[in-house]
Every structure is written in C-alpha cells, then in structure tokens.
Amino acid sequence: MFRLLFRIFNNCENSNTFNSIKTSINETLLALFDSYTQPVELPPAPTIEEFSELSTSILLENTMSIRKYLGPILEIGDYTPTIRDVDVFGVLALFSRIIELNKFKLKTIKLATNFLISALKQESQFFERSAFRLLLETKIHVACLSLMLDNRMDLAQPTAELFITIWERFAPLYNEGMNAILVKGLQTTLMSPDPFVLKRSLAIYKQLVKYPQLFVDAFVNYDCDRSGYFDNVWENTLNLIIKLAYPDKKTGAAQTSQQLVQTQAIDVIADFIEALWDYF
C-alpha cells in the first residue's frame, strides 16, 4: 500500500492528490503504531475445523514474513520478533529505501524523509525491540548517510532534522553509527571542491550547532576515546569549517562563490561558539 501511494505521489502533479496521499500515509502510519501492542485478530470461522485451518495458515504466513524481514535476528538466537515488528519494520524500511535509491523525484524523497522523521518521533515499544536496532543499524543508517552525501539544498533541513531526531532519541543504540555518519558523511562533504556542496554542508551544520550537547557528546564519546577506534569528530569538524573561512587567491566567479562559502563558514563558527558559551 505505502509503495503504491509513493509511486502515485511521485508521478502526480495535482495538489489535491498530494494532500490526500499525505493524509492517507500519515493516518495509516499512526494506526500502525497504535495497533503495535494489540494482538493479531483472527477472522471468524463457522466451525472449529475451519478456525484451526485458518489459524495455522496465518501462523505459517506470519512465520515466513518474520523469517524474511528479520532473519538476522533469528540467526543470533533471538526469537522475540513478532508480526507487529515486521509491519513497522517493513514500512520504515520502505521510507529508508526510497531515500537510499534516489530514483524518485525530489518531492518524493523529501516526503519519505519527513515521514521517517515523524515515525521515529512516535512513542512506541517497537523502538525497544531488537527489530528496531537492526533497522537503525542497516536501513536507516544507509538512508541517513545517503542524505548527508546528497547535493540538493532542499534536503539539507530534513537531513539535519533526521540526524538530530536519531541523536536525541537513540544515541545509546547508535554510537558507532553516528560516528560513521558524521565522519564518512558530513565531514567528507566539507572537503569537496564544489562550492555548492560546501554551502549545503554548512547549512546542515548551521542546524546542528543549535544543539551544543550533540558536539559535547561527540567530543566525549569520540575525540576522548583512547582506544583509537573512533575518528575525532569535534576537532576535525571544527578545523575543516575554520579552514573554509580562510581567504584565498581565487578571482572572478570562483572568488564570488568562495566568498559566499567563507561567509557561511564564519556564520557557523560564530553560532557554534555562541551555542557553547550559552551551554556552559
């Protein structure tokens, strides 16, 4: 159902259809989370024999679905996943997949990102389950990394919001993944020779510096890690942004673009220092 709605949204240009699809996805998503703790309802059957046959069929189908989507969890000896886990896992995996593949129009990728953010903000026991941890470390991780490396400015704000949502709600589960996102994703874009990529990266950082605790956590968890396992995030990020603020010898149009990057970098540094000053 969700896959079909996204395809219609992607190929349609009617604003009324857009709104109807958004409403349908939102209401279905909320109903999915609301029903998460409810037992699976079995259709009525006129006889005990038919009821037994129906129950067996549903049990077999659910078992196959759990095996298909949550096989890695079963392989490590965790047999707690339920069909409700599969339901939520499948929908959030679809949102992540749309983002990762980058084959849909910008409006559709943005819609999938916004609904993924909305889903992650829900209060649900699903986020305490092993199924969610698998989802976070695989599908959502790839989607977040893809957004960080994307070059479209229209996705900068939802990219920052997705990362902040994950950090605020699931940082203890995602310590290693967050380091990878910041280093292999966002820090990489700060070294791009393309001024547009740099401006988009700085636009994301401008959103992130509103949360000084994020960088305090990064300093404590990564920069202060004595094992050498994690790359420095706080120090390397700040050094790269400061480097972008340096003047250079470019001329003409290249100089104008570089000056815009320099100005934006200085703004981010100023916001960062101000946020840390207020924090401490």
Q: What is the mean pLDDT of residues 52-71?
A: 86
Please state the rounded mean pLDDT for residues 147-165: 95
pLDDT band, residue 54 (cuts 50/70/90):
confident
Residue 219 CA to chain centroid, in angstroms? 22
Tell me, what's the pLDDT at 92?
96
* pLDDT of the residue at 124: 93
> b/e for 193-205, b at 16 or more Cβ within 10 A?
eebebbbbbbbbb
Q: What band does 48 get if pLDDT is binned at 50, 70 and 90?
A: confident
pLDDT class for 89, splitting at 50, 70, 90?
A: very high
- Per residue in 209-256, pLDDT (tens digit) is 999 999 999 999 999 988 888 888 888 999 999 999 887 766 555 666
Q: How far apart are CA 242 and CA 236, in angstroms?
A: 10
**Would you say residue 191 has pLDDT above 60?**
yes
Average pLDDT over residues 83-88: 92
By mean pLDDT, which of 115-119, 162-166, 169-173, 249-253 is the weakest?
249-253
> Residue 60, Cβ neighbours under 10 Å: how many?
10
Give the CA-trace dihedral at 197, 200, 202, 207, to 10 degrees. -160
The pLDDT mean for the chain works out to 90
pTM: 0.90
pLDDT for the residue 52: 82
Tell me the C-alpha distance between 122 and 181, whole Å: 23
* 178 against 247, higher pLDDT: 178
Integer Cα distance of 271 and 206 in angstroms:
7
Alpha-helical (H) ranges within 102-233 are: 106-120, 130-135, 141-149, 156-170, 175-180, 188-189, 195-208, 212-218
Q: Does 117 have pLDDT greater than 70?
A: yes
Tokens standing for 177?
């993944």
Average pLDDT over residues 70-80: 90
pLDDT band at 140 (very low <50, low <70, confident <90, very high): very high
Does 146 score more than 90 pLDDT? yes
